[in-house]
Structure 1
Amino acid sequence: MVLNFLSQFAARRSFSEWLAIGGLCLCLAACSSGGPTVKEQTDLQVQVAASVNVNPDDWGRAAPIMVRVYELKSATAFESADFFTLQNDSKKALGDDVLAVDEFILRPGDKREIRRKSNQASAAIGVLAGYRDLGKSVWRDVYRLPTAPDASWYRAAIPDKKQKLVIRLDQRTVSITESE
C-alpha cells in the first residue's frame, strides 16, 4: 500500500520539480556542513581624546602627543615590548599579531575617531602614547575585546551591537575604557 502511494506520488512529479527538490536538499545539506567557523566582524568605534593638559613640559605647558592604536590578535607581545621597540619597529616586535595600526598626533584638547569593521581575528586593542617623560607616565594600555560570535545569516537584517571604546590621554596616563 505504501509502495503504491509512493509510486503514484513519484509519477505525478515532473523532472523540473524533482530538480528543484534535489537542489533544495543540497542547499540544506551545505548549510549544515561542519566547515570552518567564521567569526563575525564587529563595528569598532574608538574615540581618542587628549586632555587640555596632556604631555606637559618642564614648565607644565601641554604639548602635542603621538598616539598609535593597534588592533591585535594577541596582546602578549605588545604588553611585553618596551616603548622604543614599539615606536621604532613595531612590525618586528609584534609580528603577525598586528592586524591594523592607526597613528596620529593630537594637540591638547583634540579628539579623533576611528571607525571600521574589526578583523575577525581581533582579540585586543592596544594604545601607545608618546609622552615626554616616559619614566613618570603610563604610556601603554590594552583593552581585551569580547570573543566575536560566529557569523550568522540574520546579521544582515539585525546587526550586532557596536564595540564603542574611549581612549583618554590625560596629563601622564593613557587609558582605554568601554563607552556606553
Structure 2
Amino acid sequence: MRRALCLCSLMLLLSGCTTLGKMAQVAANPDIQVGSNNHQPSTVGFSLLAEPDVNPNDSGEAAPIEFQLVLLAEDSRLLATDYDQVTTDIEKALAKNYIDHQDYTLLPGQFKYLPPEALDEKVHYLGVIARYADSESSEWRKVIKLKNTGQTYQILVHLRRDEVEIKKDQEEE
C-alpha cells in the first residue's frame, strides 16, 4: 500500500513539473503555440494580380485599378449594396457586417504579394470591391467564406478586364 502511494505521489509530482516546464517556456517565449492547431487563428496571405488589359478607359486603354480587400462578419450587406453606396462610405454601407479593409492600386500587368497574417476571430468572409471605370458593365465585387480558426489560406485576387475573381488555396493546420 505504501509503495502504491509513493508511486502515485511521484507521478503527480512529475506531471506537475512537465506543466510548469511548459508554462516557463511560454513565459520566456510568448510566440510558443499553446493548444492544438485547430484552435489557432487562421492565416491569410494574398497574391494580387492585374491583367494587362484591366480596367479599360473610354478609349479602350488599360488603366490602373483601385480596389479594397474587405474583412466581413457577414456577406449579405456587401452583396445587396450598390456601387455608389459602398464606394462613398464603406463602413456606413456595410454597417455591423464591416470589420476592416485595406486599399490597393495595381497597374495593368502588375503582381503584388502580401505575406500571411493571422485572421481576426470575427472575420467569416472576405470581399473584394474593385473600382472599374465602367461599374455598370463590370463585375466589381466578389465574396468568399473563410474559417477563422485552424486554416492556412493563400488567396489569389485576380483583377481581369472587367471582373474580379477570387481563388483560395487552403490547408488545414
Residue among 136, 154, 159 paired with 1:164: 154
Match of 2:149 in 1: 148
Normalized per residue, the structure richer in strand is: 2
Match of 1:127 in 2: 128
TM-score in terms of structure 1 length: 0.70
| CA deviation profile, 1:50-92 (whole Å, cap 9, x unmatched) | 1000001232200011110011111111111111111111111
CA shift, 1:131, in A, is 0.4
Match of 2:97 in 1: 97
User: What residue identity is the alignment partner of 2:58?
Assistant: D
Could you say what the CA RMSD is over the residues aligned between the two structures, in angstroms? 3.0
8 Å contact 1:74–1:123 — kept in the other structure?
yes
8 Å contact 1:39–1:120 — kept in the other structure?
no
| Structure 2 residue 168 is matched with structure 1 residue 178 | yes
Number of residue-to-residue matches in the alignment: 149
TM alignment of 1:53-92, pairs within 5 A? 53-92=53-92
Q: 1:64 to 1:145 in 2, by over 3 A?
A: same
Q: 1:170 to 1:76 in 2, by over 3 A?
A: same
Secondary structure in 2 matching 1:91: helix
* Unaligned stretches of 5+ residues in structure 2: 20-37
User: What residue identity is the alignment partner of 2:42?
Assistant: T
Separation of aligned partners in 2, 1:114 and 1:77:
26
Separation of aligned partners in 1, 2:138 and 2:112:
21
| Structure 2 residue 128 is matched with structure 1 residue 112 | no
* Unaligned stretches of 5+ residues in structure 1: 28-37, 150-159
8 Å contact 1:41–1:120 — kept in the other structure?
yes
The list of structure 1 runs, each at least 4 consecutive aligned residues, that deviate by more than 4 angstroms after superposition, is: none
